[in-house]
Amino acid sequence: MDTKSFRHQSFAQVVLFGAGRRAELPALVAQLGFERCLVLSTPEQRRDAEALAELLGDVAVGVLAEAAMHTPVEVSDAAAAHARDVNADSTIGIGGGSTIGLGKAIALRTALPQVAVPTTYAGSECTPIIGETANGEKKTQRNPVVVPAAIVYDPELTLTLPAKSSGMSGMNAFAHAVEALYSPERSPLLAELASEGIRALARALPRVVDAPGDPDARADALYGAWLCGTCLATSAMALHHKVCHVLGGLFNLPHAETHALVLPYVVEFNKPATAEAMERLARALGADDPVSAVFELARAVGAPRSLAELGMPEDGIEPAVDLILADRYWNPRPLERPEIERLVQAMFDGAPD
Ligand code: NAD
């Protein structure tokens, strides 16, 4: 790691972490100077949002339980109009990446500040990234206006996340730290954040999947998720994210499951070009071979075995390869067609037992 010359970007956020610490939200909101907070959630998490609004008392100006997967612009336009109608001066999103995405989309339209109360491991709360869907197409941008002013991580709120979703969401987070390790923008601080995030998630996720009600495992997983989200905030992603984006977009595959399946294959692909990152990854995982360790972790958390199992058609391989090679992405190992064809075919067929 070059400690003599590097670039590192971070975003100012207050982070409260700990079981039960959502009780401190009213004080936090007062410190931030918010007086009229609109509470956001998905329809499925309306009760959590209502409980939070109750906790905030008069400071809450209502609950908008309309967040939807992939942040559709129609939903965001209507939500921003609603925030203006109720004269909100801030939003508080309780939920996963979809709800936090709605808070960000409102911020993009109104510049309203927000607090995020994450209940999955996706990590969106740490980042200036927002992806929005219009006419079936998802476009992603980075804009500091969407970074939440504060995050409250309360692991008790993750106890209800089902075991399978927890494992997949955790692998999504894990992938951010792995790609940060070989990012062209890596700094000594980022490398440490990524290594610690990898360590925390690797020890916590199999425990969470086996015993979703274990509060210590939940706290450890959420701690790892914070670190991995911070990696995503400050570094460019590479082939793994490109592959997931292409496959998800072309075949409408589930976001987190696709991440969990693809990651070990991309680690294997990039290994020859990323000696230092692989050494760090192996050390963080306590393994000799980082590739088999990531395959084992994916298996332990119940990742799908193949793209075929996820529902991708075999005649989709060539279009997927075309798109992965189109508008080239930065990647530590150059992308050549025959190798990318082999990569997608291997993921389609899946690893033998
Ligand atoms: P999600 O927010 O879509 O949640 C999935 C479902 O799980 C929802 O119904 C939600 O209400 C429910 N849920 C969430 N937490 C729960 C809990 N603790 N208990 C019970 N149910 C719960 O899922 P996600 O994986 O967190 O987010 C995925 C979205 O986030 C994708 O659109 C992805 O692109 C985006 N994302 C964005 C960034 C970013 O930086 N912008 C980063 C990661 C993911």
Question: How does pLDDT run along the chain (353 residues), one tens digit per residue?
Answer: 788 888 898 999 999 999 999 999 999 999 999 999 999 999 999 999 999 999 999 999 999 999 998 899 999 999 999 999 999 999 999 999 999 999 999 999 999 999 999 999 999 999 999 999 888 778 899 999 999 999 999 999 999 999 999 999 999 999 999 999 999 888 999 999 999 999 999 999 999 999 999 999 999 999 999 999 999 999 989 999 999 989 988 898 988 899 999 999 999 999 999 999 999 999 999 999 999 999 999 999 999 999 999 999 999 999 999 999 997 788 999 999 999 999 999 999 997 66
Find the 101 Cα to ligand 1 centroid distance in Å: 9
Find the 122 Cα to ligand 1 centroid distance in Å: 6
Helix segments in 7-157, DSSP class H: 25-32, 46-56, 73-85, 97-110
Is residue 232 within 8 A of residue 142, CB to CB? The reply is no
Find the 200 Cα to ligand 1 centroid distance in Å: 20
Atom of ligand 1 at shortest range from CA of 131:
41
Shortest-distance Cα residue to atom 36 of ligand 1: 97
Find the 204 Cα to ligand 1 centroid distance in Å: 19
Find the 173 Cα to ligand 1 centroid distance in Å: 11
Q: How far is residue 163's CA from residue 42's CA, in Å, rounded to a whole number?
A: 19
Distance of CA 229 to the CA centre of its chain: 6
Shortest-distance Cα residue to atom 6 of ligand 1: 96
Find the 124 Cα to ligand 1 centroid distance in Å: 9
Atom of ligand 1 at shortest range from CA of 158:
18
**For ligand 1, is residue 96 a contact (CB within 6 Å)?**
yes
Q: How far is residue 153's CA from residue 19's CA, in Å, rounded to a whole number?
A: 8
pLDDT in the model for residue 256: 85
Between the CA of residue 320 and those of 131, 160, 255, 332, 336, what are the distances in Å? 21, 35, 16, 20, 14
Find the 118 Cα to ligand 1 centroid distance in Å: 9
Ligand 1 mutation pick, 64, 98, 241, max ligand atoms within 8 A of CB: 98
Burial of 27 (0-12, 13-18, 19+ CB in 10 A): exposed
Shortest-distance Cα residue to atom 22 of ligand 1: 161
pLDDT in the model for residue 352: 67
Helix 97-110 to helix 73-85 angle, to the nearest 10 degrees?
60
Ligand 1 mutation pick, 50, 117, 124, max ligand atoms within 8 A of CB: 124
**For ligand 1, is residue 124 a contact (CB within 6 Å)?**
yes
**For ligand 1, is residue 197 a contact (CB within 6 Å)?**
no
Token duo for residue 82:
């609603």
For residues 236-258, one letter each, b for 16 or more C-beta atoms within 10 angstroms of the residue's C-beta and e for the rest, the string is: ebbbbbbbbbbbbeebebbbbbb
Which secondary structure element, helix H or strand E, spans residue 5, and what is its range?
A: none
Q: Other C-beta atoms within 10 Å of 149: how many?
A: 19
**For ligand 1, is residue 69 a contact (CB within 6 Å)?**
yes
Token duo for residue 292:
């088999």
